[in-house]
Structure 1
Amino acid sequence: MRAAQKYPVLVALIIGALFMIAPFLIVAINAVKSPAEYSANGPLALPEGLYLDGIQDFWVRVDFGQKLFNSVLISGSVAVLAVILSVLTAYAIGIGRIKGRPWILAFFVLANMLPQEALVYPVYYLSKEAGLYDTRLSVIIVFTVVQSAFGTYLLSSVLSSFPREIIEAARIDGANSWQVLWRIVVPVSRPTIGVLMVFFFIWTWNEFLLPLVMLISNDNQTVSVALGVLQGQRLMDATMTNAAALLGVLPALVFFLVFQRTLTRGIAVGSVK
């Protein structure tokens, strides 16, 4: 009886997985078709052979290697720096129990709800005044602060329930606040920190508006900006468009697959807690 009850859930999961995988497969199939084959057989037909000129032409046209380096540098830096900043601030709020904790957490929630459109002009003006406009560092700083707002809110909620007995025992043994943080709190919270790092990388990779405004030089643009600008110029056929979409999503997908065990472990630990 229980096995029979599981079948509808399994069927629903399979159908949901197909809906998520199908668009990616269609893009991958059309990325290796020639324009003539695409026009003759349509987007759903299987390719008769591997046509890689669309991928190669797109790579050369947008200097995809440079764009890929910029995206990896920005997303990786933001993921690491935002996690570090989140850990430090959440430790002070969640374990340090500073005064006004509810109001501080409310501020971080408000920061997460603030639309990026409201940040465009202030960030643009401040970066101009600081001489950081059109630099990758400016985008790294902005997204580190933005992502750490969510990370601080999440980690502070986790650390607020951290066993006080462990901390007190460490302090009795002579550990200071810094040692308690890096030798006790961080190792125990590693699954949650790993989940945040994966999310921060993927979220930053997919950002478009602020990099579009802040990075106007071709050498500093990210993958998402390069895709949007080139498609806006209408210089690509259907095959190259699919090749661009495939190359744009593939690095993030690879990163997700590499760290999927970290993500799964963090979610599992969080559900058990």
Structure 2
Amino acid sequence: MIVARREAWTGRLFLIVLMVVTVVPFVSLFVTALHPSGTYPAGLDWPSEPRWSNFVTAFQAAHMDELLMSSAFIVLGVVPISLLLATLAGFAIGHLRMAGRRLVFLLFVLGLTLPFEGIITPLYYQIRDMGLLNTRWAIILPLIGLFMPFGVFWMRAHFISVPGEISEAARIDGANTWQQFWRIHVPLAAPAISSLAILLFLWTWNQFLLAIVLVDDPAKRTMAGALGAFQGQWGTDIPLLCAGSLLVLAPTLVIFLIFQRRFVSALLQGSLKG
């Protein structure tokens, strides 16, 4: 009993420390953003007169309205196509047990070890030869391919745990493979699909490297990628730079807070099945 209580308190203490380590940098960023423009605040020193106008200035200076539209277009180009392809591939590898599935799955697993930084140079030349440099497609198309290994791995983990009796019963009722997929397995996979959608949204919205290397026009980048140009223009104005960073982080934070229960439930569902 004493050991169980000690473990419980140790776990709580660890979570508190982890929360503090995670939250303090954001609090420091927020406090710094409220200082007068052009100053160099120290630590968590709360300003005597908070400058809330810094957020408005940063929004206007970075043309956040254009960046929001650009990021939304890139997300709409990446997330739905990636979800569709990953779900189809995960269903084929995990549930249909197609011929050669182990080799195909191994290739996708190897893709998980491929870092963006390792392929950015050949990717640049390939995108250039396709005539897509400085367009949003230069971000959309590579991200779809780069997200496939994880997306297929994620969806396969769900479909491989679905009992085969479900498909067998549907087949007896006259449903073909396509009907089984859309009418039975996709609704059952809703938690896994929605949680994967959240991850893909966060990764796409926060994509920095591809946006910087493949797109010269900041207005065609993601919000995180455009922050590089904003930093170059306002790098000496620390409060304004912090305000711009918070504006970039705000959409991803809101999305995660709204869908966190669905995301956590999908993770727990996978752990219980696995």
- The answer to whether the superposition gives a TM-score over 0.5 is yes
Q: What letter corresponds to residue 53 of structure 1 in structure 2?
A: S
Which deviates the most, 160-169 or 54-63?
Answer: 54-63
Mapped partners of 2:263, 2:133: distance in 1 = 34
- Specify whether residues 174 and 201 from structure 1 end up closer, same or farther in structure 2 by C-alpha distance, changes over 3 A only: same
Mapped partners of 2:159, 2:123: distance in 1 = 31
Match of 1:12 among 4, 11, 14: 14
Aligned to 1:213: 213
Aligned to 1:232: 232
The superposition leaves residues 32-62 of structure 1 with CA deviations (integer Å, 9 ceiling, x where unpaired) of 22147x54x6331123233033222222222
Name the SS for the 2:219 alignment partner. Answer: coil
The superposition leaves residues 4-58 of structure 1 with CA deviations (integer Å, 9 ceiling, x where unpaired) of 542221122112111111111111111122147x54x633112323303322222
Mapped partners of 2:253, 2:203: distance in 1 = 12
Mapped contact 2:170–2:180 kept (Cα < 8 A): yes
The superposition leaves residues 130-155 of structure 1 with CA deviations (integer Å, 9 ceiling, x where unpaired) of 33222212311211121122111222
Aligned to 2:144: 144
Aligned to 2:89: 89
Q: Which runs of 5+ in 1 are unaligned?
A: none
Mapped partners of 1:241, 1:21: distance in 2 = 19
Name the SS for the 2:112 alignment partner. Answer: helix
TM-score where L is the length of structure 1: 0.91
Aligned to 1:22: 24
Q: What letter corresponds to residue 167 of structure 1 in structure 2?
A: S
Aligned to 1:260: 260
Aligned to 1:134: 134
Structure 1 residue 235 displacement after superposition: 4.2
Structure 1 residue 95 displacement after superposition: 1.8
Q: What letter corresponds to residue 16 of structure 1 in structure 2?
A: L
CA-based RMSD: 2.0
Aligned to 2:117: 117
Mapped partners of 1:245, 1:218: distance in 2 = 15
Mapped contact 1:139–1:210 kept (Cα < 8 A): yes
Structure 1 residue 220 displacement after superposition: 0.5
Mapped partners of 2:254, 2:49: distance in 1 = 25
Mapped partners of 2:7, 2:234: distance in 1 = 51
Aligned to 1:50: 50
Q: What letter corresponds to residue 108 of structure 2 in structure 1?
A: F
The superposition leaves residues 226-270 of structure 1 with CA deviations (integer Å, 9 ceiling, x where unpaired) of 212332355441111211221121111111111112101111211
Identity %: 33
Mapped contact 1:75–1:202 kept (Cα < 8 A): no
The superposition leaves residues 150-194 of structure 1 with CA deviations (integer Å, 9 ceiling, x where unpaired) of 111222233123211110100110111111111111111211112
Mapped partners of 1:50, 1:229: distance in 2 = 26
Mapped partners of 1:213, 1:128: distance in 2 = 11
Mapped contact 1:33–1:47 kept (Cα < 8 A): yes
Q: What letter corresponds to residue 102 of structure 2 in structure 1?
A: P
